[in-house]
Amino acid sequence: MKKTSILSIGVILIALLTLFWAGTPANAGPIKLSYANFPPAPTFPCVQMERWKKEVERRTKGKVSIDTFPGGTLLGAKNMMDGVIAGTADIGNLCMAYQPGRFLVTNATSLPLGIPNSLVGSLVLWDLYKKYRPKAFSKVKVLTMFTTAPSNIMSKIPIKTLEDIRGVPIRASGGAAQILKAWNANPVGMPMPQTPEALQKGVVKGLFSSLEVMKDFKFAELCRYVTVTDAVVYPFAVVMNMDKWNSLPKDVQEVMEGLGPQQAAWTGVYMDNHVEESIAWSKKNYGVEVIKLSAAEKASWDRMLEPITNNWVKDVSGKGLPGAQIVEDIRAFTKMYAGQ
């Protein structure tokens, strides 16, 4: 054979190989997905993220590989939803309370309706989402949802009465801020990751959220008092870019679909256990005092919350939502999961 024909066979071979590799990206390694989260890695939204990542990688037998970005390194608390819609991250975890007007239906889980813990809250929220399929999520694929445990007051000063809380600047967002307002506190809205600095600088004298943050953000160091209110939960959603979702193979989609309610339950159980651990840790390491309201006092606090739900129903009914039905559903789902 002539030198030139050997050469041209070589060129053709290389061209064919190049075409083959370019045409089959699946053979180039696993499908890579980015997952953005806003708070620091040790906190519960990121713990559930790492668990979801591991489960997906295991259940797809390595077909999918997920890169996690905790601490707002890819998207922050308030641009999470829009960042995922735009494709800045493939997946994002968001707290719906930070955009209360945007997620009206699902934020109804932070009305004072007596959700007793994170497991029940998470299952109720998932069912509510499945029933109503709110328009707010039409541009994304919802992978899972969950809630925190009920909120309690963590503060630098002891709060035992409605007089004690009057005018006190306390950090909260969304539905939880409405509760503080009803108690005549001075709610200051900001996402959780900004709270350590606000507490340090004295911009706020406390916060209103689930108690696992006493340990995970070390708030116990600054807030030596907890007032037990067991009030509203904060709802969260994990969403995926719609084009990215549509590009995934069917078997991968099935794994993620199956994980939806399981991840909600897993996160609920993790949160409820972690709250207990955090309270014990805070007492032991910082001598945190846990204040229980007297029965008479508790009755007054509860009474002040009564108008909130009816006002919400009126408000959203004006916006074309079946407010009364949503409230009834949350109550019924709560009873079912709480075994009442």
Contacting positions for ligand 3IO (CB under 6 A): 39, 43-45, 95, 97, 148, 173, 191-192, 209-210, 213, 234
- Cα 88 to Cα 241: distance, rounded to the nearest angstrom: 9
- Shortest reach from residue 44's CB to ligand 3IO, in Å: 5
- Shortest reach from residue 148's CB to ligand 3IO, in Å: 4
User: In this complex, which beta carbon is closest to ligand 3IO, that of residue 235 or of residue 323?
Assistant: 235
- Shortest reach from residue 263's CB to ligand 3IO, in Å: 17
User: In this complex, which beta carbon is closest to ligand 3IO, that of residue 97 or of residue 313?
Assistant: 97
Quick one: CA dihedral 34, 148, 222, 273, positive or negative?
negative
User: In this complex, which beta carbon is closest to ligand 3IO, that of residue 213 or of residue 330?
Assistant: 213
Angle formed by the axes of helices 306-317 and 323-338, to 10°?
A: 130
- Cα 257 to Cα 298: distance, rounded to the nearest angstrom: 42
Please give the residue whose beta carbon sits closest to ligand 3IO in the complex: 209
User: In this complex, which beta carbon is closest to ligand 3IO, that of residue 66 or of residue 97?
Assistant: 97
- Shortest reach from residue 29's CB to ligand 3IO, in Å: 32
User: In this complex, which beta carbon is closest to ligand 3IO, that of residue 42 or of residue 87?
Assistant: 42
- Shortest reach from residue 269's CB to ligand 3IO, in Å: 15
List own/partner pairs for 49-56 with CB under 8 A and 24 or more apart. Answer: 49/93, 49/238, 51/263, 51/266, 51/267, 51/270, 52/143, 52/144, 52/238, 52/259, 52/263, 55/259, 55/263, 56/255, 56/256, 56/259
